[in-house]
Amino acid sequence: GDCECLCAAISNFADMCSRHNIYIKWRSQELCPIQCEENFRYSTCGSPCPQTCRNIGDEPEPY
């Protein structure tokens, strides 16, 4: 409903900001929470792929 629309709008705005190296921590348990699996945590500017011996020094793929 309205919350999904609001979360999508804020997420798109924050994504555009991050493309210009401006990172906004806007998610919380009260506002558009993201639940991660055990031992994982959500980060807006983290790499989606863990670094391994095979990809050390590689530039991360844009996402």
pLDDT greater than 90 at residue 63: no
pTM above 0.75, yes or no: no
State residue 51's pLDDT score.
60
Say if 62 falls within a structural domain.
no
Say if 9 falls within a structural domain.
yes
Please give the average per-residue pLDDT across 15-20, as a whole number: 90
Say if 28 falls within a structural domain.
yes
Say if 50 falls within a structural domain.
yes
Q: Which residues contact 34 (CB under 8 A, 6 or more apart)?
A: 27, 42
Say if 44 falls within a structural domain.
yes
pLDDT tens column, 20-61:
989 888 998 899 988 888 887 777 666 666 666 765 556 555
State residue 35's pLDDT score.
83
Say if 63 falls within a structural domain.
no
Say if 31 falls within a structural domain.
yes
Domain extent, residue 24, equals 1-57
State residue 11's pLDDT score.
92
Number of domains in the chain: 1
Q: How many CB atoms lie within 10 A of CB 18?
A: 13
